[in-house]
Amino acid sequence: MKVTEHLDKAKNPLISFEIIPPKRGGDIQGLLKAVDDVSKYNPPFIDITSHAAVELYSETPEGIKRKVIRKRPGTLGICALIQNKYKIDAVPHILCRGFTREETEDFLIELQYLQIENVLAIRGDDSGYEKPLPRGRSANKDARELVRQINNMNNGRYLEENLIDAHSSDFCIGVAAYPEKHFEAPNLDFDIRFLKEKIEAGADYIVTQMFFDNRVFFDFQDKCRKAGIKVPIIPGLKIVSHKNQLNNIPRHFYVDIPAELTDEIMCEKDEHTIEIGVNWSARQVTDLFNNGVPAIHFYIMQNSSPINMLMKKLNL
């Protein structure tokens, strides 16, 4: 079922999750345990992140050697596993960076064969490696162009023109948004105008970057509605479970952590951080649901322990 159909048919607010594939050569058991844990909460869908190739250098007796690898392959296989074993709709992330349009089309065709109906179209982080384009190949520069490519497939238009009996895909397309603005955007209004262009290109719903102050989300949502963005906006949350996340989260995701939460964590011993983070998220969830938010999306990576504590606290 499509994400938008889940939202339309839901009688109660929904909670979905996002996970990350294991590192290359890693064991999938940790991920499977996380999916086992969250599946008991009947999530409508689970997002699976995708990762482009990165450039690595190592010092050898023969000198510095360069290699290009994907650190976390496996998005497609994990999607198939979740959708077929757990009967939960999978939402793979589709990237611009690191993939050609031709590779993207092939990936989307494979998703069709697996009867996966949902995708999240994002530009992707700058890994420092720019993939060379073979002759005759092209790449999407940003998520707006990627959405347009997926929407073209939904209308039966493939990269190779004049295909005989070209079959239209039927993907529900999600895009990312940033309540505190994307770090590359000069201001929030500019960022929202770009977000609207992604909707006009064919996106069906929005999932936000994590935030820790609900006022930020409500202000962002109001600005979107005033700008004419009418699609569903799903807020993204994360539970702070370790003290080092007070530094890591702002550095990697360019979001603010309120002083009240920071002070409370810093005044307590490390082992109390997860309890403080769960209590903070519980207040966020309650406030969001009380204000009519139809769904919440949790970034859990492969750690389901905080979610279990939160669900118990919320009695969900």
Rounded Cα gap, residues 86 and 90, in angstroms: 10
Q: Is 128 left (phi over 0), alpha (psi -120 to 50) or beta?
A: left
Q: What is the pLDDT of residue 136?
A: 81
128: pLDDT strictly greater than 90: no
Rounded Cα gap, residues 122 and 96, in angstroms: 7
Give percent of the chain with pLDDT exceeding 90: 83
Q: What is the pLDDT of residue 36?
A: 95
pLDDT digit string, tens, across residues 18-66: 999 999 888 899 999 999 999 999 999 999 999 886 666 666 676 676 6
Q: What is the pLDDT of residue 110?
A: 97
The domain locations on the chain are 3-314
Q: What is the pLDDT of residue 58?
A: 64
pLDDT digit string, tens, across residues 263-300: 999 999 999 999 999 999 999 999 999 999 999 999 99
- What mean pLDDT comes out for the span 161-185? 92
Strands (E), the chain: 14-19, 45-48, 54-60, 63-69, 89-95, 118-122, 172-177, 205-210, 233-237, 295-301
301: pLDDT strictly greater than 70: yes
User: Which fold would CATH assign to domain 3-314?
Assistant: TIM Barrel (3.20.20)
Mean per-residue pLDDT of the chain: 93
pLDDT digit string, tens, across residues 88-112: 999 999 999 989 999 999 999 999 9
Confidence of residue 251 (pLDDT cuts 50, 70, 90): very high
